[in-house]
């Protein structure tokens, strides 16, 4: 089956630093990738939709200058948490939609990144 | 916008059946999904059902859809300890690009 690799799986950083999270589709092309945030014991909240070669679409309430998304190729999207603060600590998950399919039937998820900001 | 609700916790005995329920608000949803999340991991698509179906069975999994009541359920037969996880119901909203997740049901399986 299709594989989405997310890296790193966990990261600890100091407050004020920036952290980059990568999401790669390993064996398929993904024109669209999604970034979610999950707080402990809560659901996934969609942060933004990342489209290859164009600007990301952010959900209401998500600061685009805080969470920079780049989708430079059909297999890679990155999320950079800029000037991270403790309230940014969370579990971040990406998902990728296979090219050529119009439904979310073929939406594949990465294994997530646990970010802890000290 | 779309609202998806689930019960938060379910405890079952090993070998029994588990039934996880979900309600949603957007009647235009075409596919409805169940995902499984194990501790510290991403989401794994378990199964899905198309909105013109009432039931779908896939080995130990049975999905029931009551479109009139906007109610979706996932039944796991012969529940095993390996089924312990969080189960998310997810419904597309505003087109195919956006999935709205329920809060997740934590399934605990005990001997």
Q: What is the DSSP string of A56-75?
A: -EEPTT--TTTEEEEEEETT
118 residues of chain A, pLDDT tens digit each: 668 999 999 999 999 999 999 999 998 888 889 999 988 777 888 999 988 888 899 999 999 999 999 988 889 999 999 999 999 999 999 999 887 665 555 678 898 999 999 9
Does the beta carbon of A103 lie under 8 angstroms from any beta carbon of chain B? yes
Does the beta carbon of A28 lie under 8 angstroms from any beta carbon of chain B? no
Cα–Cα–Cα angle for A23, A25, A28, rounded to 5 degrees: 165
* Contact (CB<8Å) B97/A46: no
Q: Are B34 and B48 in contact (CB under 8 A)?
A: yes
B30 interaction partners in chain A (CB closer than 8 Å): 103
């Amino acid at each position: 089956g299709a594989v989405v690799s997310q890296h790193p799986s966990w990261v600890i950083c100091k407050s004020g630093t920036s952290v980059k999270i990568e999401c790669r589709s390993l064996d398929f092309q993904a024109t669209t990738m999604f970034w979610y945030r999950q707080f402990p014991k809560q659901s996934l909240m969609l942060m933004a939709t990342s489209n290859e070669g164009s600007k990301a679409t952010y959900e209401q309430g998500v600061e685009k200058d805080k969470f920079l998304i780049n989708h430079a190729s059909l297999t890679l999207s990155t999320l950079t948490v800029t000037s991270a603060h403790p309230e940014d600590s969370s579990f971040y998950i990406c998902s990728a939609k296979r090219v050529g399919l119009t439904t979310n039937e073929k939406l594949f998820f990465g294994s997530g990144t646990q970010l802890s900001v000290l | 916008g779309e609202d998806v609700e689930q019960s938060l916790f379910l405890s079952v005995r090993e070998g029994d059946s588990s039934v996880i329920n979900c309600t949603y608000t957007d009647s235009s949803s075409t596919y409805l999904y169940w995902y499984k999340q194990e501790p510290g991991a991403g989401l794994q698509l378990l199964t899905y059902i198309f909105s013109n179906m009432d039931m779908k069975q896939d080995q130990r999994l049975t999905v029931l859809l009551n479109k009139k009541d906007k109610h979706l359920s996932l039944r796991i037969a012969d529940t095993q300890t390996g089924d312990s996880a969080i189960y998310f119901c997810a419904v597309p909203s505003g087109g195919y690009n956006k999935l709205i997740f329920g809060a997740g049901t934590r399934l605990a399986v005990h001997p």
